[in-house]
Amino acid sequence: MTFHGDQWPNMTSREEFLFLSELVLTRSSAEHTMIRVHDRHTGTTRFANNQVIQNVDGRCGNLAVTVAFGGRQGTASTTDFTAGAIQETLSRAEKIAKVTPVDPEYLPPPGPCRFPARDTAKPETMTAGAPRRLEYANEAIGQCRMENLMAAGTVSSSAAAVGVAANTGLFGFERRGEASFSLTVQAGDATGWSAATHRSINHLKVQERTLAAISQAKRSRDVCELPAGRYPVILEPAAVAGLWAWLIRSLDAKSYLKGTSAFAGKLEQAIVDRRITLQNSPDHADLLGEGFSTDGLPSTSLVWIDHGVLRQLAYDRFTAKQQGVATIPTLEALELSFEGSPVDSIHDLLKKTERAILVTNFWYIRPVNLRDLTLTGMTRDGTFLVENGEIVSAVKNFRFHESPLDVFRHVNLWTAPMEAVNSETRKVLVPAVALPQFHFTSVTRF
């Protein structure tokens, strides 16, 4: 027997999730039981060398059950939604919980909560299929072919049903859709790049982004080598997002309290330029806000860094309770903004620059030292020398060594927040910035 009903093979509906959760909760013998369902349909068209190299479509449902007996807990999951498999998954979770030592940090699942209703499932994305993805891929490839350039990239779309419920009365269900486009244009050894992710597949701006990547690739053709050293820089939004992603990942409250964090002792202190504010904005139409987290907590609009001052940490539920934190902040829709007057565009940032390195994106950013959040990484897909307000040459890619806590202490100029995403970060809104100094430690061969 399956629980996909007449709609099968459609996604799990709210009613089906309610049925599934009641089935698990009524059959469970545990003190606490929590069920999570993530039923996702996703498709990607991938291209390289102006050819489609991969065209895939998949459906994966996942059902996870966590049970607890007196602080002993166990979790089991399955991709099989048949009645027998669900019963077997519950039994596995119960078996684990019965032999697991008591977890001193165990907390019952959250109680009932009215989750905010957000526009997370745009019809045009939820119904987009392989033909729509192929159309966009073909558009990008066609533009590049006309210019005798090579296109490599992806168009993807996904639709998901997400549910969370517990015998405490917790119940949440949401549909979520997401679409992405990313493109690398190769002009011989030179590359240009652009990417977008949005709840609406109609907002990917494929043509505009393709033309931008083509223009960047052409400008990257004549490359010169500059020595490693400290340079003023202009960082485009994707590069800013890459640096901030590691800062955000390091905000774990437990590490903070145990002294194994770069932020130890810095809560309520200024950690970056006093004009910078970082907030979670799940209601922003260009961000990927959600109604609730996988823990069954409501997503929250909250300021994390307020005019440079660190106001929030990323709490697990136990640490939050221990510290008396009533509302656990979430981090899925980040917006970084500056107080004061932004310049209108990246072009205007260049115009106001005497000499700087313009960085389109970073690649393979990794921590070198978690004590001071020193990071390393490479520039990628468009690194340029700017002199007297204009790009004068592409330059060979640099490796950098910097801590975002150092380089964002003072920002010279900035734009308004813009959409940014790269291969290692989720979608965020961040400005392009001009920084007075950035440490490039070595140069590569291209």
Query: Is residue 114 part of the contact set for another protein (CB under 8 A)?
Result: no
Query: Is residue 245 part of the contact set for another protein (CB under 8 A)?
Result: no
Query: Is residue 150 part of the contact set for another protein (CB under 8 A)?
Result: yes
Q: Which member of 204, 331, 346, 365 binds another protein (CB under 8 A)? A: 365
Say how far apart CA 242 and CA 253 lie, in whole Å: 21
The structure tokens 């060594």 sit at 401
Site residues (CB under 8 A) for another protein, limited to 405-434: 406, 423
Closer residue to another protein, CB minimum distance, 79 or 345 = 79
Count of other CB atoms within 10 angstroms of residue 368: 14
Q: Decide if 287 contacts 330 (C-beta within 8 A).
A: no
Q: How far is the CB of 341 from another protein (least distance, A)?
A: 28
Q: How far is the CB of 247 from another protein (least distance, A)?
A: 14
Closer residue to another protein, CB minimum distance, 202 or 423 = 423
Q: Which member of 21, 89, 220, 312 binds another protein (CB under 8 A)? A: 89
Q: Which member of 100, 168, 200, 412 binds another protein (CB under 8 A)? A: 100
Query: Is residue 259 part of the contact set for another protein (CB under 8 A)?
Result: yes
Q: How far is the CB of 154 from another protein (least distance, A)?
A: 5
Tokens of 154: 């992806």
Site residues (CB under 8 A) for another protein, limited to 39-58: 42, 44-46, 48-58
Closer residue to another protein, CB minimum distance, 167 or 422 = 422
Query: Is residue 152 part of the contact set for another protein (CB under 8 A)?
Result: yes
Query: Is residue 296 part of the contact set for another protein (CB under 8 A)?
Result: no
Query: Is residue 37 part of the contact set for another protein (CB under 8 A)?
Result: no
Site residues (CB under 8 A) for another protein, limited to 195-214: none
Number of residues that bind another protein (CB under 8 A): 93
Q: Residue 116's closest CA among 280, 287, 292, 281?
A: 292
Q: Residue 62 class from Cβ within 10 Å (0-12 exposed, 13-18 middle, 19+ buried)?
A: middle
Closer residue to another protein, CB minimum distance, 110 or 298 = 110
Q: Which member of 14, 221, 249, 258 binds another protein (CB under 8 A)? A: 258
Q: Show the binding pattern over residues 367-396: x = contacts another protein (CB under 8 A), - = does not.
A: xxxxxx-x-xxx-x----------------
Closer residue to another protein, CB minimum distance, 103 or 344 = 103
Say how far apart CA 251 and CA 315 lie, in whole Å: 9
Site stretch for another protein (CB under 8 A), options 73-81, 347-355, 383-391, 411-419? 73-81
Q: Which member of 5, 22, 70, 105 binds another protein (CB under 8 A)? A: 105
Say how far apart CA 416 and CA 433 lie, in whole Å: 10
Q: How far is the CB of 283 from another protein (least distance, A)?
A: 28
Query: Is residue 1 part of the contact set for another protein (CB under 8 A)?
Result: no
Query: Is residue 99 part of the contact set for another protein (CB under 8 A)?
Result: yes
Query: Is residue 70 part of the contact set for another protein (CB under 8 A)?
Result: no
By residue count, the chain amounts to 446
Closer residue to another protein, CB minimum distance, 12 or 312 = 12
Query: Is residue 266 part of the contact set for another protein (CB under 8 A)?
Result: no
Closer residue to another protein, CB minimum distance, 102 or 285 = 102
